[in-house]
């Protein structure tokens, strides 16, 4: 088993500059998290909003530096604050951002969005770049006709699939996905999750997968890390975490998951009708 990415006691502080009306302060967004992801495996990170998931994701994806701790990619210590990334390292690790719209250049056509990583990081000839971009579009469930459209011409879920397609263009070893399916309806979500599973099997990809949807996590994860206020409050295999969640926050997560039980709907509808009758 080869470990693709490993973090040891990773921390991240944000300095919030002061102004006339307030003092400068430090936010401790990630407070010493350790983890390892093996080739072909998926680590899911769940946790409350603001608990530091995206912050940790950007560190793992080599976009932001950590404030402390050590990050290793395939055994090599990597610190983007002190070393320049090689083209090879850059293509190995890719990220899908939580906010797909903000991560797409509004003036760049979708075809160019997909071909750009190949242009910048590889010596793939133009015709081949185009062929691979078209192939990827189809894989994420979009027709090739959209090649010349701009990002604003897509729906939320379509843009999210474009962001996923872009991250896959370089056939990375490690893919960090920040809420990649949260804007997708169940059918497209299933299509994307199936695609991710296929690619993982085909290329032995490692995933770090951030999600707040426990049913998705249960489907995709090998290991689960639960974050709360910058700390890992629970960490283990999917089976262990789902069978016996030990931290109160994890249990709260399970309890708050909405239910589609017909009896519960019936009770709620009756309550609303009574309320409406009372106010008329």
Q: Which residues bind ligand ATP (CB under 6 A)?
A: 14, 16, 27, 29, 47, 49-55, 98, 152-158, 185
233 near other proteins, judged by CB under 8 A: no
Q: What is the DSSP secondary-structure string of the chain?
A: --EEEEEEEEEEEEEE--BTTB--EEEEEEEEEEEEEETT-EEEEEE-TTSSHHHHHHHHTTSS--SEEEEEETTEE--TTTSPPPHHHHHHEEEE-S-TTTTS-TTS-HHHHHHHHHHHH----HHHHHHHHHHHHHHTT--GGGGG--GGGS-HHHHHHHHHHHHHTT--SEEEEESTTTTS-HHHHHHHHHHHHHHHHHH--EEEEE-S-HHHHHHH-SEEEEEETTEEEEEEEHHHHHH---SHHHHHHHHHS----HHHHHHHHHHHHHHHHHH-
**What residues between 126 and 155 interact with other proteins by CB under 8 A?**
142-143, 145-146, 148-149, 152-155
77 near Mg ion, judged by CB under 5 A: no
267 interface partner picked from other proteins, Mg ion, ligand ATP, none, CB below 5 to 8 A per type: none
Closer residue to ligand ATP in complex, CB, 144/265: 144
142 interface partner picked from Mg ion, other proteins, ligand ATP, none, CB below 5 to 8 A per type: other proteins
Quote the least distance from Cβ 110 to other proteins, whole Å.
12
State which of residues 2, 26, 215, 237 lies at the interface with other proteins (CB under 8 A). 215
Quote the least distance from Cβ 11 to Mg ion, whole Å.
17
Closer residue to ligand ATP in complex, CB, 17/258: 17
**What residues between 50 and 69 interact with other proteins by CB under 8 A?**
50, 53-54
């Amino acid at each position: 088993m080869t470990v693709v990415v490993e973090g040891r006691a990773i921390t991240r502080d944000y300095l919030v500059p002061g102004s006339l009306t307030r003092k400068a302060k430090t936010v401790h967004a990630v407070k010493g998290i350790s983890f390892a992801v093996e080739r072909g495996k998926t680590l899911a990170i769940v946790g409350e909003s603001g608990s530091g998931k995206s912050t940790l994701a950007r560190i793992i994806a080599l976009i932001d530096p950590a404030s402390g701790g050590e990050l290793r990619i395939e055994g090599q210590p990597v610190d983007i604050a002190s070393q320049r990334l090689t083209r090879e390292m850059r293509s190995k690790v890719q990220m899908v951002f939580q906010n797909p719209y903000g991560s797409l250049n509004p003036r760049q056509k979708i075809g160019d969005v997909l071909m750009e990583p190949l242009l910048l990081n590889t010596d793939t000839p133009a015709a081949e770049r185009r062929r691979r971009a078209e192939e990827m579009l189809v894989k994420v469930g979009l027709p090739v006709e959209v090649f010349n459209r701009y990002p604003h011409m897509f729906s939320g879920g379509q843009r999210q699939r474009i962001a996923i397609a872009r991250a896959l263009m370089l056939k990375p070893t490690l893919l960090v996905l920040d809420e990649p399916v949260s804007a997708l309806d169940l059918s497209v979500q299933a299509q994307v999750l199936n695609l991710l599973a296929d690619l993982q099997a085909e290329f032995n990809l490692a995933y770090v997968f951030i999600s707040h949807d426990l049913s998705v996590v249960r489907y995709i994860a090998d290991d689960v890390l639960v974050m709360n206020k910058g700390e890992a409050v629970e960490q283990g295999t999917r089976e262990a975490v789902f069978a016996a969640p030990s931290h109160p926050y994890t249990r709260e997560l399970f309890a708050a998951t909405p239910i589609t039980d017909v009896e519960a709907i019936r009770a709620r509808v009756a309550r609303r009708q009574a309320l409406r009758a009372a106010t008329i």
